[in-house]
Structure 1
Amino acid sequence: MNSHSIMAVSSVFAAFDKDGDGKVSTSELRRCMEATLGESVSEEEAAAVLAAIDADGDGLLNQEEFSRLAAGAHEEEDDADVKRRCLREAFGMYAEDTTTTVITPASLRRTLSRLGSHELGVEECRAMICRFDLDGDGKLSFDEFRVMMMA
């Protein structure tokens, strides 16, 4: 994984890890899912998503497990659905606003700043996006974001 990909996965993971303990609990995952989806998510649904990703069975999601999820380590259809949903939730955290389906340099910078990442300029964010901007529009669609997370 290159440094931009590692930083992107780390930033997405940090968004889920609200208490900063290096692990994502069911309740943290549930809160992120609700905030991103804009709808209620049951504790059981969040637990099922977490269990599908939890390789070591500790009931928590560490960054390595999250990275494997983002890299597409799970191949079964159910796991693919879980992976796509988790990536969709992460994508929503970076999108320009709730009505658009793209990540812009400004929205990437704003989200990374909110997550406590070191301060990046718009040009640095534009360069991060450019690397994975397959259609050259200067923004990341969900499919381009998925490619970035799997890089």
Structure 2
Amino acid sequence: MSPLTPTDLQRIFEKLDRNGDGLVSLEELKWLLDKIGHEFSPDELEGLVGKKNLDLNEFLFFWESISKQNNNRGDEEGEDGADVESDLAKAFRVFDLDGDGFITSPELECVLKRLHLRDCPSAKDCSAMICAYDTNSDGRLDFQEFKNMMLLTSS
């Protein structure tokens, strides 16, 4: 996928938002993805996005995520990809203190405090970090959201 500027992406978003409500529906997003060769079933796309509509910021995050996945696809197919996935799963388990498959703001804060970071983030900062990558807006990170966060912030 060729790199697009934020201005390019905003223009694309505005074109997709046919009714001008500031949201792009999954149907509109699917149409775009089909046109550029990324075909998803409606159910797959809803599972990936986690909601029925995206605002501009969510659209930009989604685009960045699929661009990153596309760029890393070759790496993840080999042994290095399996190692990365395994390392991310181990890291996720460190933060998922109660083992429920999600990382909450209190869990993130607790682990960061245990690491004795010099400038340990506050509860508010931890909540903001969770919200920044919480694509389905449930207030916590599942493994895929955690993986996206780690892959996006490591580049």
> Greater Rg, structure 1 or structure 2?
2
Q: What TM-score results when the alignment is normalised by the length of structure 2?
A: 0.48
